[in-house]
Structure 1
Amino acid sequence: MKNTIAERIQDFLKQFPPFDILKKEELLSISRQIRVLYVEKGDYIFEQDKPCHDEFYIVREGAVGLYRGFDREQTLVDICDTGDLFGLRIMIIKRNYRMSAIADEESIVYTIPAKVFEPYIEENKEVNKFLLSTFAAHARNYYTETATGNRIDNTISIEAAKDLSALRSISYRKKPITCSLEDALQEIAKKITKKNGSYAVVVDQNKSPVGIITDSDLRAKVATGLFPLTSLVTDIMTSPVVTYSKKLTVAEAQIALIKHNISHLCITKDGTPNSKLIGILSEHDLLVSFGNNPSVLIKEIRRIDKLEKLRYIRKQLEKLLATYLEQDIPTTHILHIISEINDALVARIIELSLEEMPSMPLVKFSFLVLGSQGRREQLLLTDQDNAIVFEDVPAEDYETTQHYFLELAGKITKGLHTIGFEYCPAEMMASNPRWCMSISKWESQFKDWMTVPTNESTLLSSIFFDFQHVYGNVTMADRLSEVVFDGVNKSNRFLSLLGVSALLKPSPLGFFKQFLVEQNGEHKDTFDIKTRAMMVLIDAARILTLYYNLKGVNNTLQRYEKLAELEPKNAALFDSCAKAFRVLIKFRTRQGLLHKDSGRFIKLNTLSKNDKLKLKRCFRPIRDIQEVLRVRFQLKSLM
């Protein structure tokens, strides 16, 4: 007799990894042993610090939140939607739950027993690789790319999953700085300085490493006068060196550096000191190889002195972003990391641009990023939106001062373009005199927008009021922020017009719940996920933040979090808005990476039925948040 329930479960599971890897008969066998769990909103599926179950879960319908903490101190870590797995990693390593899983709405969840799935972990290489990337997402250092950008082809057992660092290959420098046994210290010091390095490997006539000189050796032994610059490298080099083969793993590298109390490892052709040197690995390289630590990458960015290298890092960042999405890292974590690195890239370009200027600026200035980057929500490379604010100067000096900063801005925007940030078609960039002004002129501009609002000023406000200081004097950015909130307090009409703008955004769905697509132009028949979905949520969060005078909160997700605290009666709606925005921003980013564009315009015929359903679920809060704006600001009379 046919088991129709099992077949329905099979049809569902085969859409999602790792089940899509399995053979039809294997998947059907698993489906027969799955338990269907119905949970009401607020029900716990498992609780933090409690023993883990002998099963893991996949969401069939609804949404399950993963929370860290207890009772009112709980913090939302991530949302599991249709097709998302949870509880798998902890089931395998057999530890107490580190988070609680709570139904955010009525949900149907499939429970998959450990004894049913564990054989596939051990026997199926592709399932094994899926788990490697999934587990790495939760490890302290989970960067799983090799030097060539290919995913590590390793397998793991149940026990090995507890220590994934042993499986990661290391990325080393393939063109080490070298010198011969006959070289003088002065020449080596010049060579190290020229190449902005921190070492030189001493090699013999066969190119085998026999010693190493580091910048600390030069400071301790030469700069102190113990050895003259005319000395040979053999006088101060550390010898013998520690060597390894290129198959060195992260764990082995960490142990070797600690065990030998050294800062560099030499990579040779066969791993012995008697073979040819092919690379070098430093403590710094080891940290950079982890890739997911913003502070490490930022330090690396600050060392770079060429735009081409910054462009390379920005491209690598896209690979890292793709890995984060693949591994389902929480959205807030992704936004934080990418924003920090983007800010560091912008700051470094400003520093390099200042070095090209004939002189340093005579007055203080602040470089602001606007729009999505100002909200710290820019994951993909989109158009530049930025501005410069400089200190007030006497009227007779204003033109000269502005000219200086326009020249600087030209170099900055060109540099940003070089590393991948396109020029803004509307020229909302600091290189435009309109967006490069003194603090007093900026204050007047903001006040004009709010006291005599027009369609243009409303549009500009939605971009410029989401600004973020990136470089220079932060007090000027703070002053502008004060002007904005002071103006809002004095002009209810301004907030009302912003509200009208949010209500007039085109709807994502038609009367019969079909997607509304663009009717003409180059994007004809595509769905505009930015204008029809994301912007309403962004605009509403900004308007209500201004309404409540919430200073220093620019990010849309953070705004909804704060609003939920301020309005408990609307907390569920704000929560839904945040949840929808998380899904939309990830969806758009995946589309952008897939099609190598901004991800804004989506061809619906490329989406699966499940993807379309996920999108439609995100549209539910849009009408509700628009209704909040309509009532709060009495907008019917203005429309």
Structure 2
Amino acid sequence: MKNTIAYRIYDFLKQFPPFQFMAKRDLLEICELAQVQYLDKDQILFKRDAPYNTHFYIVHQGAIKLSRPSHQGIKTVDICDEGDLLGLRVTKEDSYRTTAIANEETIIYALPMEAFATLTKENKAVSNYLITSFASNIKDPYTLENSGQLLSEYDPERSQNIYGVSKARFTEKVIQSSQDISIQEAASKMKKYQISCLVISENNIPIGILTNRDLRNVIASGEFTATTLVKEVMVTPVICASPDINVTQTQLILLTHGISHLVITKDGTPQTTIVGILSKHDIVVSFANSPIGLLKEIKRATRTKHLRQAWSKTMLLLKRYLDQNLPLSQILKIFGELKDALIHQTMQLSLRKMETTPPVTFAWLALGSQGRKEQLLYTDQDNALIYANSDTENPEQVKQYFLKLANRMNKRLHKIGYDYCPADMMASNPLYCLSLSEWEAQFSTWITTPTPENILLSGIFFDYTFMYGDQTLVKGLTDHISEKLAHQKVVLRHMAKHALKNLPPISFFRQFIVESNGEHKDFFDIKHRAIAPLSDAARVLALGQGILHTKNTSERFTALAAIDAPNRELFENCSYAFRALLKFRTKRGMAQNDSGRFINLEALTKAEKLKLKRCFKPLRDVQEVLRVRYQTQNI
């Protein structure tokens, strides 16, 4: 007699990889042994560190959240929905690496692991697909070549070391001192413990650092004596990092700041307690085509064409990282450092071409996606320039100097590969090359007069970040904006309404909403229909909570989750969804050799479409939070 349930399971599974690679007879045999399970919301399917069950699982309806501990608490690493596979053992580890909990009422199919492994042992397409893409006990597994077995010798740590993304090992025993001892006492202490640096602290909070090199420079200069107090010569502020920093990030920070030691603190800032110390001697130097090699090449560039050549290599590095499924958060950090170096060197070359030095201090700002450090592919430029207020009798002459400098910068960035902004939102535009007081007045206007045009502009300019020059100018502007927002909450309501202009990109019948006309007719606009609405929501909610220094969308949602307990789970889901969407767009852009904005849905697999749809649910929910919190229907 025909097993109706088994055939229903078969009809469902055959739509998804890796089951679509299996012969009908083999898949039906597995389906005969399958179990149907129902889970209530928040019901646990399996726990981290628990032994593997005899079955693995496929979500039929609903969603399963995968989480694991981190130094910031419990972190959501994935959300599995229709067609997603989880709980399958693909390495020789004996226990789960994540905890799986039903995110809503969920129906799953449980398939016997041993029978599945037997039937797919000789099916290379199935085993390779599982190892590289669907191992729920490994976050972001890496591609394995020539792997023909389901249970492989795959070693995540070894794979990470190849690309310099393994966790950096730091020394937990940190020799500390107060700032009120003498240089001679500090040197004696360093000699006693055979260390190359001394961390200066108060109540285990880092306030300065003193290295062998610093001591040599102090002695050589002849400006200080052995009785000089350490607080007079220590290096401050202290450059810090969090305990989960990897090798590549460490190398980039050490090279970028020209330092030899990195203090590890609880949350990576100088405001929390010391947990370790990292030196450049602790880091294994990567191969030549690593981020470190590219950073050095960028810093050595003497012509714009050299910068263009170096930056084209970063695109090859990006492709490799995407192919290896490196977590997007790590990719963004690595490329953020490289982009900072690119802007810095581009500005240095531009300044060398100016006839005179700058008449006053200035700062170069990145706006939009670059300001949020979310720009990976070549896109158009969005930037601005802020310069110090001047007492000169000819302020127009000062402005013309910086307009000329900005024009040189924009031209160089264009030669490197970044198109001019179609809306002319660039520092070479007199509207966006202003003194500090002029910028303060401009932001005051945007905040106090929330017209549609002003709201549109503020949505771009609120996401600025410092890239070069005098950072105190940027801090002054940020403080001014903070003060204005504290007394003008109405602008947030208008920004919230603007953030709701793009509804979730799924129709009532769960179909993608695509472009109805124009050059990209029937294509899906992932930027305007999915990524931008999440960025807009994060901006409004973060500004409403006084979070001004965090600009990255994913990090904004993470910061919101830490202070808004009722919506913690939603904001964590939004953070994950944003990273997933941005990574998807970047991959499509690399494949299509464009920005990845418009996607031909017919080129996607069913699994890819489902994963996209999965990211839209938190967008719908966070927009409802905006609607309720800011009562946008009353504007």
TM-score between the two structures when normalised by the length of structure 2: 0.70
The unaligned stretches of length 5 or more in structure 2 are 165-281
User: What secondary structure, in the 3-state scheme, does the structure 2 residue paired with 1:69 have?
Assistant: strand
Q: Is residue 9–residue 31 contact of structure 1 (8 Å, CA) maintained in 2?
A: yes
Gap change, CA 1:506 and 1:520, over 3 Å in 2 = farther
What's the offset of the Cα at 1:570?
A: 3.4
What's the offset of the Cα at 1:83?
A: 3.6
Distance 1:505 1:407 in 2: 38
Distance 2:550 2:618 in 1: 21
Superposed counterparts of 1:290-369, under 5 Å: 298-299=295-296, 301-303=298-300, 306-324=306-324, 327=325, 329-358=326-355, 360-369=357-366
**Aligned match of 1:475:** 472
* Deviation per residue, 1:378-414 (Å, 9 max, x gap): 3433222111222222344544443343333333333
Q: Is residue 351–residue 405 contact of structure 2 (8 Å, CA) maintained in 1?
A: yes
Q: Is residue 76–residue 572 contact of structure 2 (8 Å, CA) maintained in 1?
A: no
Q: Which amino acid aligns with 2:108?
A: V
Distance 2:121 2:145 in 1: 17
Q: Is residue 78–residue 330 contact of structure 1 (8 Å, CA) maintained in 2?
A: no
**Aligned match of 1:29:** 29
**Aligned match of 2:78:** 78
Q: Which amino acid aligns with 1:462?
A: G
User: What secondary structure, in the 3-state scheme, does the structure 1 residue paired with 2:589 have?
Assistant: helix
Superposed counterparts of 1:508-587, under 5 Å: 508-510=505-507, 514-587=511-584
* Deviation per residue, 1:300-332 (Å, 9 max, x gap): 6445551232232232144135315xx3x5444
Distance 2:140 2:450 in 1: 50
- Please say which of residues 542-551 and 63-72 is displaced more in the overlay: 63-72
Distance 1:51 1:515 in 2: 40
Distance 2:405 2:319 in 1: 31
- Equivalent pairs: percent with the same residue? 44
Distance 1:576 1:167 in 2: 26
Distance 1:141 1:633 in 2: 37
Q: Is residue 96–residue 137 contact of structure 2 (8 Å, CA) maintained in 1?
A: no
* Deviation per residue, 1:267-316 (Å, 9 max, x gap): xxxxxxxxxxxxxxxx999714795xx66754564455512322322321
Distance 1:600 1:103 in 2: 32
Gap change, CA 1:156 and 1:611, over 3 Å in 2 = closer
**Aligned match of 1:63:** 63
Q: Is residue 62–residue 82 contact of structure 2 (8 Å, CA) maintained in 1?
A: yes
Gap change, CA 1:589 and 1:470, over 3 Å in 2 = same
Q: Is residue 131–residue 150 contact of structure 2 (8 Å, CA) maintained in 1?
A: no
What's the offset of the Cα at 1:426?
A: 0.7
Distance 1:460 1:166 in 2: 44
**Aligned match of 2:99:** 100
**Aligned match of 1:405:** 402
Distance 2:99 2:29 in 1: 29
What's the offset of the Cα at 1:448?
A: 1.6
**Aligned match of 1:600:** 597
Q: Which amino acid aligns with 1:451?
A: T
What's the offset of the Cα at 1:101?
A: 2.2
Q: Which has the higher contact order (CA 8 A, sep 6+)?
A: 2
**Aligned match of 1:44:** 44
Superposed counterparts of 1:359-508, under 5 Å: 360-396=357-393, 398-505=395-502, 508=505
Q: Is residue 56–residue 87 contact of structure 1 (8 Å, CA) maintained in 2?
A: yes
TM-score between the two structures when normalised by the length of structure 1: 0.70
**Aligned match of 1:264:** none
Q: Which amino acid aligns with 1:62?
A: G
Q: Is residue 141–residue 290 contact of structure 1 (8 Å, CA) maintained in 2?
A: no
Q: Is residue 534–residue 574 contact of structure 2 (8 Å, CA) maintained in 1?
A: yes
* Larger-Rg structure: 1
2:153 to 143, 151, 160: 160
* Deviation per residue, 1:309-362 (Å, 9 max, x gap): 2232232144135315xx3x5444444444344334333433444445455545
User: What secondary structure, in the 3-state scheme, does the structure 2 residue paired with 1:161 have?
Assistant: coil
User: What secondary structure, in the 3-state scheme, does the structure 2 residue paired with 1:38 have?
Assistant: strand
User: What secondary structure, in the 3-state scheme, does the structure 2 residue paired with 1:571 have?
Assistant: helix
- Please say which of residues 561-570 and 454-463 is displaced more in the overlay: 561-570
Distance 1:459 1:370 in 2: 13
Distance 1:313 1:71 in 2: 34
What's the offset of the Cα at 1:577?
A: 3.7
Q: Which amino acid aligns with 2:313?
A: I
Q: Is residue 455–residue 495 contact of structure 2 (8 Å, CA) maintained in 1?
A: yes
- Please say which of residues 117-126 and 422-431 is displaced more in the overlay: 117-126
**Aligned match of 1:126:** 125
Distance 2:338 2:141 in 1: 17
